[in-house]
Amino acid sequence: MTALETTARGTWLRRRPFTHHNRLAAAVVLVNLALFGADPADMVVANLTLAVLVRQQHVINLFFRVATSAPTTWPLKVRWTLGKVYHFGGLHVGGTVCATAWFAVVAWTTADPLAWVILALLVGMVVFALPRLRARKHDLFERTHRFAGWTTLVLFAVHSAAQPGFFGSVPFWLLVLVVVSVALPWLRLRKVPVRIVRPSNHVALVSFDYGVTPFAGSSTAVSRNPLLEWHSFANVPAPGRSGFRLTISRAGDWTGALIDDLPTHLWVKGVPTAGVGNIDKLFTRVVWVATGSGIGPCLPHLLSGDTPSRLVWSTRDPRATYGDDLVDEILGVQPHAVVWDTGRDGKPDLVELALRAHREFEAEAVICISNKKTTWHVVESLEARGVPAFGAIWDS
């Protein structure tokens, strides 16, 4: 058996379907099975609270703050696991599925018509969140999740209020917590001015300066119609400068319309929210692997220089696509970056480029920002070789 095969055997639990995300979801299910004799109504509220809270922006930021507070002197395997904090969505999935299952018991035992309506809404939300359906019908998924979720919350409150002893009980206060958690981002809804530079028909560089300067590794959700759809993009703050930028590439109807129309205002809500890039502080040195506009989430970390890093960026004609100013800004802080022009040199072997950069730079980890297929390929290939690697998982 080769050394590579030995390493791969030791990391198979990190590959799909045995990811940290799925393991967290399975753990929630196992806990619920262990509590099978509990009161179904109480278990619905408990799981619903878990599902909602782990998606609350302040809770997400807390998860990342705790996980990334570990010193770089800790063993690499421990920091490797802590870096997977962005898999917390597994708790959301497990809580939602279990809440739906427990509510099916409630509906069956009470035979209440309202309970059956709530169950139908819960099942619909679970179905539309299935990965393949969500990917094909993302707008429908988002609207179903939002409007069905709000409706379910109202109907569930009405249903619970009819139960004796509900007011003042633990489930009552948990439900209040859920309502506050859902409402909080919307209380910060605002329409703000933006300045958009379009270096090419493929990219828009959107600048904000409305009194918020987010931290590196965070994202902001923006919209042109706040009730219908929201899109999150990585924030690009610059050291010593207020406000931030977003790098938006043409990847669908919404982004295409924004690049073509160049709106003067966009809606924002909530607070800047931590994302996968935030984990760089767990390591002494990292390699950033980006394709196309994936350079956006990398840029604030490259500019700040808080964690020594090396960039591998694969994109078509970077200067024509993103403009000389942005490329010069990147090379100014990353003079040794590998910038691969796919229009000139063809499609690269990103795994090999990442391994070479990891070895030459003596990095501890690799963070990949790309599309789903490429991210999963790079992350899983590197981890099969024993290299800590991280990238978005497009979880539900």
Cα–Cα distance measured from residue 181 to residue 179, given in angstroms and rounded to the nearest whole number = 5
**Alpha carbon distance 125, 143 (integer Å):** 10
396 within some domain: no
* CATH at residue 268: 2.40.30.10
Do 228 and 117 fall within a single domain?
Answer: no
Same structural domain, 267 and 193:
yes
Q: CATH no. for residue 292?
A: 3.40.50.80
Residue 232 and residue 325 share a domain: no
- 253-257 long-range CB contacts below 8 Å, 24 or more apart? 254/224, 254/229, 255/204, 255/231, 257/224
pLDDT single digits (tens) 94-134: 999 999 999 999 999 988 999 999 999 999 999 999 988 88
Q: Based on the domain organization, do 146 and 14 belong to the same domain? A: yes
Q: Which of 10-24, 129-143, 178-192 has the lowest mean pLDDT?
A: 10-24
pTM above threshold 0.85: yes
Give domain status of residue 395, yes or no. Answer: no
**Tokens of residue 251, six digits:** 């990847």
pLDDT at 338: 96
Query: Over the Cα atoms of the chain, what is R_g?
Result: 23
Q: Do 81 and 164 belong together in one domain?
A: yes
Same domain for 163 and 26:
yes
- For residue 42, pLDDT over 60 is answered with yes
Q: Is residue 232 part of a domain?
A: yes
| Same domain, residue pair 346 and 259 | no
- What is the overall mean pLDDT for the chain? 92
Let me know whether 160 and 43 are in one domain: yes
Picking from 249, 274, 299, the residue at the C-terminal end of a domain is 274
Do 14 and 109 sit in the same domain of this protein? yes
Write out pLDDT tens, residues 334-385.
Answer: 999 999 999 999 999 999 999 999 999 999 999 999 999 999 999 999 999 9
Q: Do 216 and 170 lie in a common domain? A: no
pLDDT at 11: 58
pLDDT tens column, 279-311: 999 999 999 999 999 999 999 999 998 999 999
Give the residue-averaged pLDDT of 11-17.
Answer: 63
Judge whether residue 243 has pLDDT over 60. yes
At 3, the pLDDT band (50, 70, 90 cuts) reads very low
Asked, for residue 80, whether it belongs to a domain, the answer is yes
Range of the domain at 221: 189-274
Q: Do residues 91 and 23 make contact, with C-beta atoms less than 8 angstroms apart? A: no
For residue 14, what pLDDT is reported? 62
Based on the fold, state whether residues 69 and 112 are members of the same structural domain: yes
* Count of the separate structural domains present in the chain: 3
**What is d(CA 315, CA 176) in angstroms, rounded to the nearest whole number?**
48
